[in-house]
């Protein structure tokens, strides 16, 4: 199973992914947490932030998730995931796939700027590169709606 958590930088993808991961580990599920930022730091560090490099990075992360799923892991992955074709392929690629979209207001994220992404870098998704509405997410969470956030979290855990 692959749980694919997507959204803009600073939307809370890693926070939700880590929360799900910790819960599954606590239940003794064979689980691994893949964070797009970590993959970029340790594996695909030679890739830039152009659309072409982002596409290659996304494909490599998807392939890594498939490898780990084949080894029996539940994979919790937080990634920008701006390519609808990758999201469509994921539905066929993985045995079980749950896509969660954390919807955020870009202006609020720029104001918060928790990862110092929006002012200091080029080719930023949402600012310089379009972030299209994801393809058929199983769950959509409004970042600012904590009640729905907890509801969706509980639904995800019960679905697993």
Say whether pTM exceeds 0.95. no
Active site residues: 81
Distance CA 30, CA 51 (A): 33
| 15-67 tens-digit pLDDT | 899 999 999 999 999 999 999 989 988 888 888 888 898 899 999 999 999 99
109: left (phi over 0), alpha (psi -120 to 50) or beta: alpha
| 101-120 tens-digit pLDDT | 999 888 888 777 656 667 76
């Amino acid at each position: 199973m692959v749980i694919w958590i997507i959204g803009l930088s600073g939307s809370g993808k890693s926070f939700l992914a880590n929360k799900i991961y910790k819960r599954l580990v606590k239940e003794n599920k064979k689980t691994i947490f893949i964070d797009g930022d970590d993959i970029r730091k340790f594996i695909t560090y030679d890739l830039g932030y152009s659309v072409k490099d982002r596409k290659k990075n996304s494909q490599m992360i998807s392939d890594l998730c498939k490898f780990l799923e084949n080894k029996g892991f539940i994979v919790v992955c937080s990634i920008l995931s701006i390519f609808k074709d990758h999201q469509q392929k994921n539905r066929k690629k993985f045995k079980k796939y749950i896509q969660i979209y954390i919807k955020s207001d870009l202006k609020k994220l720029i104001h918060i700027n928790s990862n110092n992404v929006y002012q200091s870098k080029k080719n930023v998704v949402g600012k310089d590169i379009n972030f299209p509405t994801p393809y058929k997410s199983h769950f959509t969470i409004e970042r600012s709606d904590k009640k729905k956030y907890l509801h969706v979290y509980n639904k995800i855990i019960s679905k697993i």
